[in-house]
Structure 1
């Protein structure tokens, strides 16, 4: 591979104009296809085979109806102080608002407040429901704006009017000021790293070209695969971060080659052969981790993995082709200010590359470094033991949003469980002589269960063998007590089924979210174990060592638990929530742990490869473990430091996005990279290798013979080219 990348780099360096025109054409083609076809993102986050899904199927078969009706918007009202919703002036305002909303041709029907009698016990809070002809995800922006305009008059007249329902009133946008800030800070880091504005701009340029192309390709892919909307934000994070980092790795090696006395074209070609080989391996590792989300059996998570993998693949290809071409177009980049004697320059380079302060400190005190690193990560990991997951709802949004205010009004007027009703499906089996009596017997104890506010009477289907009931918990949908109630209903149904001859099943949006969270929590240890095993195999092949992969896997697991522990500490427990712009403490996003496990695996292996590959190169030549560690930290440690800072910056810029899902992903990935790059890879890894000494590089000869040899640093090609 190194030989092929060498010729690719040399060809791109020579034919830079052709490369630029080709990249411009590719970008224009991708934009034309993406904008021309548009996006077809999905909001579906269902998981096949859950108990709630089975209950929904039984309900649909018994009562009929489509699986998805029209989208709804609730108009939620609160009367002014001293008045009720039955006051004549308030009544006129509500009715005029409903009439104004009904003027939209996309409205299928309205359930008026006074006809439906959807009024709280104190007569101060109520709601009317607007149903549209289109599904929730297809309701147009014009219809949403029409409703928002319609309620302004009521609010201006003193009647608090908020919105809720199934229609999303705001969209997740992949672009915005957060990405601009992330790119700007990354640019500053690159200036400090390279000492040049031009050099700093090259990785930014390659990343933006790759990101634009990748995002447009995802638009196209969304027409052929069900991809969640927020996948675009994940793809933007990854595309920017890895695109900048991969360009950084190649340009850093180019700079090193120039200092070693290589001619510019040869330096660019060799950078592509060596650092480019590492980029390919690192990119493939991230892609494998993302595509590995398919094994969880969770469709929307697998689709997110596909979206992320597309942007990473494009970033790798763009970096390998566009970077050497840009180096060919910047002839004055990294030109030394003064000529020096070649021998003296090589002597100075050799002396300066022996070690740095951090390397000497870690290798001098390896045991304290290991103890401190493990203790710090262990303490940060502790909240992970109490992690509770769920899907964010309107109650987790900022109080500045109408959805959150409407959510709070409904909880105030009808109780916290109103925002998450449970739909109970009672079905009599073939052993019941009187199906309706069996259903009545099975459901009569529901009201006596703990944490139950109310239960509606059973509504039988035409056949009389199935009924539905609505149960309101005393607690919020995201409360653990609500989850416990769902499990209790199912457990009691299983134990009483033989006596009652009727089964109680729980469905509805709250039960669906609970089941999805349970499935994802069960998938986490399996997925983490799978990719930890994959990491061991890959690193054993690359570094021809047993203990180095073991150390890398343990470091990755520490990173993962510390990351999730920190997320629990901030998001779930609410510490520093205000600083990160988190409106309310809430359960951790249910698919975040599995998603973070996959992404951090790929990125952690990137840093492991870039750092330890330099150590291996030195150890193979001199057979001196401490010198190898010092050389690795000196030569590639600074690049890993800069790359880690860039990743943290890009991911952190998404923390301050308005959407809760995007915010959670940005927080987890930013601090995950912070822990992994600075504590694990730059501190724990060299400290452990110092303690292990030569045994770190032990590899059984029989295993060395049967495993394939992978030269990610292009070492074999360097030997050939130096002859």
Structure 2
């Protein structure tokens, strides 16, 4: 491998434009895809194999309208006052009407009105035939009387009225009732006119309607009102809920049941249901709804705060990443000594990130990509891209300075040695990331593949484009003045004193590291996984205002609605009495604050209730409620299905929590195998892997303290503690493992190289540390800076990732690789590199130190 990389380096150096042209063409392809392909960032999660996903699929199939994107818009007064003044309530109602007119939002008020009208129509259809059966003979009798009066008086008006009465008497029930009311009204008018002329109706021979029924339509309406009143009351109880919070919005006598106003009148909550999922909606659907809402209410001093599901989905990136890049540039300048040399790693890293993250984003319409995916790819791509290029450029300059090699030869040898380590380290990171595919979670797969692709590109660019760029720079990569004064060695006073101190008293060093990391590692036992909600969003953000106002006005549980599906055991239709019974049974379950009917399937075999918990989405009692609901057997019903965003997040956290020990086992096995191949030792793999486990435990403990403990959240600028991102532990484990192996390979390979070439085992630890520590320190500081820059952002998910990775690198690089491992290896002495002969013969040779290249060059010389 080292010989092939040596040749690749010399080729790229000698023909830089050919190599760079290939990368330029690839950049062009990504730009073309980005410009021509639709982009889609998803806020939804698909969690196949879980109870919540199975219920969601069933509900979506039976009630297609329930599967659309939904959320809430909280309306508050800019001055903190009431929203229930006539002017402001009218504006809120207008906002709802404008949302419906966009054509993307379902008008729930219209649906409720249609349901009520349907009840009345069905009762009317039952009452009208009864009324018509009695009315028909009366109309026929009236027609005969009118005929007689018309003949006697010779009045054509009365004759026409008689003919119409004959026609209506045999009409369909509805038409008969409508026609009879009109005929009776006209007859009354004739009688009135006759009275005004001084003649009595009897004198003219005009009949009076039998039974005194002058308005059958009104009679039917009154009968329908009486019959429908209890049914509509039941419907109201079903749709309003068992314990509704606040009251409905009322404008000019019209009641809007779906818009709830808090008891103190300071908050209005507008539910929003789109006609489809985000992927089915036009690109600007969310923005359009928010714009028309704001236009309707801003004139009366109101402010709209949408829930996270209604906010446009954009990658949570800002300008904070530039801070980390600025620090990285300073470190590169100090390490490499020139602006040109420092700029090359930055340039290649940025190109790799553009290709990896930009390519994934350009193709995002073809798979499930969350908002965190591009940010994670950017974070990892910048860090490894800079570090891998740094290792090669540093080696390249060292060969020119210390051995006086020409630039082309130095590039070849740098790729054959440092490039081999970069390739191996990159493959380790990629393998760890691809191991996440075993979890079988779609959005985690996308994150892992995007990150793995970005790392692959970082390695490829470092091994091809970077040597080509060095070919363009040529001998100028090292100043002439620096070349005239060649350093005798790479030893540095700080590195020498540090490794001397940690190896002088190795047992004390080991005990100190274990104690220092053991304290935060204990905090990892308090790890509580979940999906950060609006309650931990940045103070003042729309998500935070929405969450806090909802909790204050309607209770914490209003932020954690559960969708509960109910079926009869025999799949029989659910009538209104049974729906009311099921609703009451749900409301009586411990932890349920309210239950309301969301809808029923066309065949009425499936009913869907929205169940409001007593606590918020990340409260342990809400998780208990989800399990309690699933374990509840209602009389005569199938097991309850529970879904909704809250239930899906709970299931996701449980799936990922269960995956942590399994994935750790995979990582441990992978680590032992890889390090066994690289170092051909039993102790080094065991010690390095144990050190990594201690580092990841301490890292998770620090994450818990920084984001989950109110006493320490101020350290990261968070004003409220919350859960730890459910997929953070497994993702951080994979990423930190790969990065930790980078440092172990670079430091350990340098130590082993000195040992193999005849140095005493303990002396080899020191000299190897001298040779590699400077570049490892620089690489670690760069990674910490890049990851740390993301802590300054507003998105909670990315802040947790940035903190975990920066803290993990700090712990692993400085306390494990550069403190604990030298102490352990020094304490073990010769035993550190011992390997049974039979195992040594079985293991394939992995040459990352470039020994085969050195032998080839020596033979050639």
**TM-score normalized by the length of structure 2:** 0.77
CA contact (8 A) 2:430 2:452 kept: yes
1:272-311 equivalences in 2 (<5 Å)? 272-311=415-454
Specify the alignment match of 2:773 in structure 1.
Answer: 637
Task: Specify whether residues 9 and 679 from structure 1 end up closer, same or farther in structure 2 by C-alpha distance, changes over 3 A only.
Answer: same
Task: Specify whether residues 673 and 67 from structure 1 end up closer, same or farther in structure 2 by C-alpha distance, changes over 3 A only.
Answer: farther
Distance 1:490 1:428 in 2: 15
Distance 2:457 2:810 in 1: 25
CA contact (8 A) 1:438 1:502 kept: no
1:70-219 equivalences in 2 (<5 Å)? 71-72=69-70, 74-78=72-76, 85-109=83-107, 111=109, 113=249, 114-120=255-261, 122=263, 124=265, 125-136=267-278, 138=281, 140-141=283-284, 143-144=286-287, 147-148=290-291, 150-151=293-294, 154-155=297-298, 157-164=300-307, 166-169=309-312, 171-174=314-317, 176-219=318-361
- Per-residue deviation at 1:475? 0.7
SS across alignment from 1:574: coil
Specify the alignment match of 1:16 in structure 2.
Answer: 16
1:392-541 equivalences in 2 (<5 Å)? 392-430=532-570, 446-456=586-596, 465-491=605-631, 493=632, 496=633, 502-541=638-677
CA contact (8 A) 1:442 1:504 kept: no
For the pair 1:695 / 2:831, whether they are aligned, the reply is yes
SS across alignment from 1:236: helix
Task: Specify whether residues 33 and 447 from structure 1 end up closer, same or farther in structure 2 by C-alpha distance, changes over 3 A only.
Answer: closer
Task: Specify whether residues 104 and 59 from structure 1 end up closer, same or farther in structure 2 by C-alpha distance, changes over 3 A only.
Answer: closer
Specify the alignment match of 2:502 in structure 1.
Answer: 362
Task: Specify whether residues 340 and 581 from structure 1 end up closer, same or farther in structure 2 by C-alpha distance, changes over 3 A only.
Answer: closer
CA contact (8 A) 2:313 2:371 kept: no
Specify the alignment match of 1:49 in structure 2.
Answer: 49
Per-residue Cα deviation, 1:626-668 (whole angstroms, up to 9, x for no partner): 1111122111111111000000111111111222222221111
For the pair 1:332 / 2:467, whether they are aligned, the reply is no
Distance 2:77 2:322 in 1: 43
- Per-residue deviation at 1:105? 5.0
SS across alignment from 1:713: coil
SS across alignment from 1:115: strand
For the pair 1:679 / 2:839, whether they are aligned, the reply is no
- Per-residue deviation at 1:60? 4.2
Distance 1:504 1:338 in 2: 76
- Per-residue deviation at 1:543? 0.6
Task: Specify whether residues 85 and 43 from structure 1 end up closer, same or farther in structure 2 by C-alpha distance, changes over 3 A only.
Answer: closer
- Per-residue deviation at 1:150? 4.1
For the pair 1:391 / 2:531, whether they are aligned, the reply is yes
CA contact (8 A) 1:490 1:505 kept: yes
For the pair 1:710 / 2:854, whether they are aligned, the reply is no
Specify the alignment match of 2:63 in structure 1.
Answer: 64
Distance 2:310 2:79 in 1: 30
Distance 1:520 1:153 in 2: 43
Distance 1:448 1:474 in 2: 12
- Per-residue deviation at 1:705? 1.4
CA contact (8 A) 1:353 1:631 kept: no
Specify the alignment match of 2:29 in structure 1.
Answer: 29
Number of residues of Structure 1 aligned to a counterpart in Structure 2: 712
- Per-residue deviation at 1:322? 1.9
SS across alignment from 1:468: strand
- Per-residue deviation at 1:75? 3.4
Task: Specify whether residues 478 and 643 from structure 1 end up closer, same or farther in structure 2 by C-alpha distance, changes over 3 A only.
Answer: same
Larger Rg computed on CA atoms:
2
Distance 1:706 1:649 in 2: 42
CA contact (8 A) 1:451 1:474 kept: yes
Distance 2:101 2:761 in 1: 78
CA contact (8 A) 1:354 1:630 kept: no
Distance 1:364 1:296 in 2: 44
- Per-residue deviation at 1:270? 0.2
Specify the alignment match of 2:511 in structure 1.
Answer: 371
Per-residue Cα deviation, 1:570-616 (whole angstroms, up to 9, x for no partner): 11113443342324211011111111111111111111111100111
SS across alignment from 1:292: helix
1:603-618 equivalences in 2 (<5 Å)? 603-618=739-754
Distance 1:432 1:141 in 2: 42
Distance 1:606 1:179 in 2: 23
Per-residue Cα deviation, 1:250-300 (whole angstroms, up to 9, x for no partner): 011112212123232211110011100111101111111111110012111
Aligned partner (choices 519, 522, 540) of residue 382 of structure 1: 522
Specify the alignment match of 2:458 in structure 1.
Answer: 315
CA contact (8 A) 1:438 1:501 kept: no
Specify the alignment match of 2:693 in structure 1.
Answer: 557
Aligned partner (choices 397, 403, 412) of residue 260 of structure 1: 403
Distance 1:152 1:688 in 2: 67
Distance 1:419 1:396 in 2: 13
Task: Specify whether residues 320 and 676 from structure 1 end up closer, same or farther in structure 2 by C-alpha distance, changes over 3 A only.
Answer: same
Distance 1:570 1:480 in 2: 20
**TM-score normalized by the length of structure 1:** 0.91
Moved more, 565-574 or 16-25: 16-25
Task: Specify whether residues 388 and 73 from structure 1 end up closer, same or farther in structure 2 by C-alpha distance, changes over 3 A only.
Answer: closer
CA contact (8 A) 1:273 1:714 kept: yes
Instruction: Give the unaligned 5+ runs of structure 2.
Output: 111-248, 250-254
Distance 1:377 1:419 in 2: 37
- Per-residue deviation at 1:397? 1.4
Question: How large is the Cα RMSD of the aligned pairs?
Answer: 3.0
1:573-612 equivalences in 2 (<5 Å)? 573-612=709-748
